[in-house]
Amino acid sequence: MLAHAEASAEADSAWVWLDGNGLPSRLELDEGGESRTVYRFSGWRFSAAKGAKAFTIAPPQGYEVVEVP
């Protein structure tokens, strides 16, 4: 995958390689000229799913929730 940056960004382009599980394994940033920064990712680990409760936000007491159409 190749992503192009805006003209004001320091890096010109970025390449991302995915591993067999679809997770990023390498990221290369083209810094312009012959300069390139390489990041390698490995050992991906994820904690157990926390469920919907971890993503439910309740308003503080005394606040009114207004639905936006």
> Distance between CA atoms of 44 and 34, rounded to whole angstroms?
30
Q: What is residue 45's predicted lDDT score, i.e. its pLDDT?
A: 93
Mean per-residue pLDDT pooled into runs of 10, the chain (69 residues): 56 85 92 85 91 86 90
> Distance between CA atoms of 39 and 58, rounded to whole angstroms?
39
* Residue extents of the structural domains in the chain: 2-44
Q: What is residue 8's predicted lDDT score, i.e. its pLDDT?
A: 60
Residue 24 in contact with residue 18, Cβ under 8 Å? yes
Q: Is 30 helix (H, G, I), strand (E, B) or coil?
A: strand
Q: What is residue 32's predicted lDDT score, i.e. its pLDDT?
A: 74
> Distance between CA atoms of 56 and 26, rounded to whole angstroms?
34
